[in-house]
Structure 1
Amino acid sequence: MKSKLFMIFLLIVAVLATAGEVTIWSWRSQDAEVWKQVEAELRKAGYDIKINFTAYAPTEYDAKIALALQTGTGPDIVYSRRLPGGRTQTMIENKLYLPLNDYVDFSNFSSTILKSVTHEGKIYGVPFAVQVVGIFYNKEYYEKYGLKEPETWDELVENAKVLKKNGITPFFIPGKEAWALTMQHAMCGVSVLGPEWIKKLTDGETNFLDPKFTDLNKKLNDLKVYYQDGFLANSTTDQDAAFAFGQAAMVFYGIWGYQNWKNLNPDIQVGYFMVPPATKDQKPYAYVYMDGAITLTSNVKNKKDAIEVLKFCATPQFGTIFANITKNIPGVSGATLPKEPLFEEIMDVYVNHASPYVYWVGSVFVTQKPSLYDDVLSPGMQELYAGKITPEELSKRAQDAISQWYPPLMKK
């Protein structure tokens, strides 16, 4: 009898010990400090909630959360990908992500941002960041060798030539991570091809066999002579260290990298420019997208406290914490943003120079299989850079894949 009572006592203690804990999984290790501050702010507001934040490698993350949620071993909250996109939609359709309309006030979010978390009229997550991608460069190298931010692709190549001639690696490319190569292609596409061409592609007025698309493939393939040796074996972790410590002058990346670079080397001076277009009569554009959302899962064990966390994530106060720690643009409006020149420039690009048409994250071309992102450009860019396929073959792969299911591009 005493033994049974003791076991019941231990069970009660265990339940009470975890009653105020909310578990969160993410692919963003740089957000750990954000959640420490969120926990502190909630405590000030009278909530006794402990946040247990865990970050996994981005390349493993999606498979890990899918398995955990399907087996009932997942966390209360996850970082989810944006919509449209097969991964998140599948999780919603399998009822592994829960709608938040009845719990969270979304009045501080624009309708454009909320579209990226809405499925069949229900909102599945609190958007945490808007990302801007482009070319980030080491200002000291540009100043040392008298370089200017390029206005055309040829000027970008000329800058790379000058740097290489002086013993500086022009670009560090994380070729091991296929998503980063797809991102590189897409950010170049919005400027070199231009949003008008991408709209024509979306409307079926042109297709991936257009010489302009193949020419972009060729431009990127020709640029690889300015990448670091063995670039197909390097990761984004390698890239962060190399760029932060001056081992390369430029990277094709997103603003989310800035925090890591400054953490590694507080003295680095970072500049930014949009990928330059092919000719001076074209305008440059930036690829801008909603990064992801903070989402309630079907595995939630502490729903009451998890909802309080999600409510806080929808406030300008959370946006202020998030922006000042990560140097990312918060999804929520009304936040107080960092007073840093680079961040202010990125904000201007976000507001005034975002491409209205895109073909990577957030585009129609990733909503079904084969996906332009996962099934064409991710493996295709690695093979192109490895010399296994030609620029023409990459174009054909894209056309063959998307024309299987996207009506405007289907063969008549």
Structure 2
Amino acid sequence: MIKHKMWIIAIVILLFVVGCQDSESSSSGDSGESGDSETITLWHIETGESEKALQDSVERFENSHDGVTVEMVRQENDPYKTKLTVAMGGGTPPDVFHSWGGGWLEKFVDAGQVKDLTEDIDTSNYLPAALTPATFDDKNYGAPLAMDIVPVWYNKEMFENFGLEEPETYEELKDIIETLKSNDILPFSLANQSKWPGSFYYMYLAERIGGPELFNEAYNRDGRGFDDEAYVKAGEHLQELVEMGAFPDGFNGMNFDTGQSRQLIYAEQAGMIVQGNWMLGTTRDDMPEFEEKLGFFLFPSIEGGEGSNKDIVGGVSPVFSVSEKSENKDLATELVNELTSKETAQQLANSDGAISAVKDVEYDDEYVQEISEVLEEAEYMQTFYDQTLPPELAEVHLDTTQSLFGLSTTPEEAAKEVEEKAKETLE
């Protein structure tokens, strides 16, 4: 009887041990499987051929990383900054995110929310000027893919029909405005609901009047301020253009993201638009047949001003960074390297008209080569105010510029308001 009981106990113990081993084996197998499967999130704002270049880059990355999936999330340009700020503040940021560098990225860096990439990317692969906006205290926090310039795009056929030539001076530009208006053509197309498209005009006017060092002195607090006479005159010129009827009715309420300004150009209801070189890729995506009519020139000089029509407004975009809170920082960093590889840059340059921030890219597209040469020959590049300035100061700049366009504030009041905020944030 005792032997029988002992035998039953032995069987129970054996079954228990085997069951535990199976359970451990199963648990180990599940853990290994989940460990081999990782998802990385990528937030970006690219569209058209630019987005396709990123998609191809992601496909190459996934093919070389078994079990890794990249979730690409395209955000709308205008709400993007707010959405990422909320995600960062809430502790749920994407693994890899788009930025423009400058003060906007720096605020996340200062908060410890961005991974230091100094030892993880080969900075010799990039143009030095393209690395600058993402470098703080000699440490790098982002890898650049492309650079932008902002010319004046125009309808070449329309100019030819009206006997117009590319202007070199502001007075010549005003003559073009009057000619187009007299022929029932809107001189400039502008959708300024999001404020930054109108900022291009103000930046150019201020630089052409005050010269290349104007912004640097105001930003570094070592000379002229944002209330300098050059900024006041820039506001006066801006309002002069508004009063001339250079822009569409209701332009301060028009939406850039939905293409309202571009459609006026495509429909030949407007003759010019001040936009970045992304206009070329967007046109190829929106209305490729219009490309043959598309020409560009740099914003003209102003008589008596210190700036030159060889000076350009521009920036670096996209810059890709890694969130410090990413659970897959190493993989995310590898993705950044693929997103900003020469192969990605080459595709972007020749399909989307992007000027590469990556060295040794060859331009098959003669149009893009021409744009690249403009950047290479430029005497000075003014980076975008709203990306270079701290966010709270950038917002005041954008708000006051939109108010100048709306004729609801004076140039003196606008300049004073920006300078007062600069004293709070920069000193």
Whether the TM-score (by the shorter chain) exceeds 0.5 is yes
Partner Cα separation in structure 2 for residue 171 and residue 323 of structure 1: 27
Deviates more, 1:58-67 or 1:135-144: 58-67
In the TM superposition, residue 172 of structure 1 has moved relative to its aligned partner by 0.9
Q: Which residue of 2 aligns with 1:150?
A: 167
Partner Cα separation in structure 2 for residue 328 and residue 210 of structure 1: 35
Total equivalences in the alignment: 397
In the TM superposition, residue 305 of structure 1 has moved relative to its aligned partner by 3.3
Structure 2 spans left out of the alignment, 5+ residues: 1-18
**1:89 and 2:106 aligned:** yes
1:295-316 Cα shifts (integer Å, max 9, x gaps): 1113424444323222223432
Q: TM-score, normalised by structure 1?
A: 0.85
Picking from 82, 86, 93, the partner of 1:67 is 86
Q: Which residue of 2 aligns with 1:339?
A: 365
**1:262 and 2:281 aligned:** no
Q: Which residue of 1 aligns with 2:249?
A: 229
**1:23 and 2:45 aligned:** no
In the TM superposition, residue 151 of structure 1 has moved relative to its aligned partner by 0.9
**1:54 and 2:89 aligned:** no
Percent identical: 21
Q: Structure 2 vs 1, CA of residues 199 and 307 (structure 1 numbering), >3 Å: closer, same or farther?
A: closer
In the TM superposition, residue 75 of structure 1 has moved relative to its aligned partner by 2.0
Q: Conserved in 1, the CA contact under 8 Å of 2:323 and 2:329?
A: no
Deviates more, 1:195-204 or 1:182-191: 195-204
RMSD over aligned Cα atoms: 3.1
Alignment of structure 1 residues 345-360 onto 2, 5 Å: 345-355=370-380, 360=385
Q: Which residue of 2 aligns with 1:219?
A: 237
Partner Cα separation in structure 2 for residue 88 and residue 242 of structure 1: 33
Q: Structure 2 vs 1, CA of residues 210 and 171 (structure 1 numbering), >3 Å: closer, same or farther?
A: same
In the TM superposition, residue 234 of structure 1 has moved relative to its aligned partner by 0.6
Alignment of structure 1 residues 113-262 onto 2, 5 Å: 113-198=130-215, 201=218, 204-224=222-242, 225-236=245-256, 237-262=259-284
Partner Cα separation in structure 1 for residue 106 and residue 254 of structure 2: 31
Partner Cα separation in structure 1 for residue 216 and residue 93 of structure 2: 40
Partner Cα separation in structure 2 for residue 385 and residue 324 of structure 1: 36
In the TM superposition, residue 274 of structure 1 has moved relative to its aligned partner by 1.1
State the structure with more CA Rg: 2
1:337-386 Cα shifts (integer Å, max 9, x gaps): 24232x223212211115256672565xx14x751x321x2111222222
Partner Cα separation in structure 2 for residue 299 and residue 135 of structure 1: 41
Alignment of structure 1 residues 374-385 onto 2, 5 Å: 374-375=395-396, 377-385=397-405
Deviates more, 1:71-80 or 1:215-224: 71-80
Q: Conserved in 2, the CA contact under 8 Å of 1:20 and 1:305?
A: no
Q: Structure 2 vs 1, CA of residues 163 and 335 (structure 1 numbering), >3 Å: closer, same or farther?
A: same
Q: Which amino acid aligns with 1:217?
A: G
Partner Cα separation in structure 2 for residue 239 and residue 403 of structure 1: 35
**1:277 and 2:301 aligned:** yes
Q: Which amino acid aligns with 1:95?
A: G
Q: Structure 2 vs 1, CA of residues 238 and 12 (structure 1 numbering), >3 Å: closer, same or farther?
A: farther
Q: Which residue of 2 aligns with 1:100?
A: 117
Q: Which amino acid aligns with 2:194?
A: E
